[in-house]
Amino acid sequence: MSELEEGIHEFKDGEAIIKENEVGKEMYVILSGEVEVFKESEGEKTVLAILREEDIFGEMALFDNRPRSASVRAIGDVKLAVFDRETFLEQIKKNPHLALQILQKMSQRIRMIDDELHNLTAQIHKIRESVHTADVSQPVISPQKKKR
């Protein structure tokens, strides 16, 4: 990471920007480039989103003071505006429309998560139904007869 000017940071391809479970105190606005938002569990990586210019991330840290919920890594070269809570609040006072923009982005993400949860729940119900309706009286593999 390099700091170009106060509040503007650059990251190179593959460079970690945020690490899951670390305490964060900043949010980011993508000025150029792309980032990958992901979670890792037991060595498996799950990509949650690819974010692009004008997208935001890390905003939850400004509101709930909890550890980061996911990791974020640069895809190619990335330039970001970085806001701590104090700077963010100053920007909101100067431009109240900024708060509305952030709330809209957060609302879009919640709707996307709701849709994903609905789809996953429907898949689980289908799997459970197929398991319950399967004919369990018939063996899937024929037992082999023992030779004497």
- Please report which residue ranges of the chain form alpha helices under DSSP H: 60-64, 85-94, 97-133
Q: Which value, in Å, is the radius of gyration of the alpha carbons in the chain?
A: 23
Q: Please check whether residues 22 and 47 belong to one and the same domain.
A: yes
Q: Please check whether residues 81 and 18 belong to one and the same domain.
A: yes
Answer yes or no: are the C-beta atoms of 7 and 81 closer than 8 Å: yes
pLDDT at 129: 87
Q: How many residues does the chain have?
A: 148
User: What's the domain range around 101?
Assistant: 95-132
The answer to whether residue 147 sits within a structural domain is no
- Whole-model pTM: value is 0.74
The answer to whether residue 103 sits within a structural domain is yes
pLDDT at 131: 87
Answer yes or no: are the C-beta atoms of 59 and 106 closer than 8 Å: yes
pLDDT at 17: 97
The answer to whether residue 116 sits within a structural domain is yes
Which residues of the chain are under the pLDDT cut of 70?
Answer: 1-5, 134-148
The answer to whether residue 44 sits within a structural domain is yes
CATH number at residue 26: 2.60.120.10
Provide the 3-class DSSP secondary structure of residue 144: coil
* Angle, CA of 20, 120 and 49, to the nearest 5°: 40
The answer to whether residue 19 sits within a structural domain is yes
* Residue 22 per-residue DSSP state: S
